[in-house]
Amino acid sequence: MAKDHCLIVRAAGKQLDLLRGEASRIAKEANITWWTDRAEIGTRFCFEDSKSKDSFALTCDGLGISCQDG
């Protein structure tokens, strides 16, 4: 799968679990697939579409968790 719609997040433990739950919710609402990969500086969250990626970025911001395109 292409990694066009990915964000790298620096989070661990319960924060990372929370973000996985949010990614799952966002993807389920959009009826798309999402996945994670390890990145050098965190965890890469990838989505099949840019709208879901943008929604996830807003969720990260709302939770005070930094993320960057990746």
Q: What is the CATH number of the domain that holds 18?
A: 3.30.70
**Domain extent at residue 26:** 6-69
Residue 27 lies in a domain: yes
12-25 pLDDT tens trace: 899 999 999 999 99
Query: Of residues 4 and 68, which shows the higher confidence score?
Result: 68
Q: What is the per-residue pLDDT for 2?
A: 52
In a domain, 34, yes or no: yes
Question: Does residue 1 form part of some domain?
Answer: no
Output the pTM of the full model. 0.89
Could you read off the pLDDT of 22-35 as tens digits, one per residue?
A: 999 999 999 999 99
d(CA 8, CA 44) in angstroms, rounded, equals 4
Q: Which two tokens stand for residue 47?
A: 């989505």
> How many alpha carbons fall within 13 Å on the CB side of residue 13?
1
C-alpha of 65 from chain center: 11
Cβ atoms of residues 67 and 9 within 8 Å? yes
- Whether 61 maps to a domain, the answer reads yes
Rounded to the nearest integer, the mean pLDDT of the chain is: 92
Number of domains the chain is built from = 1
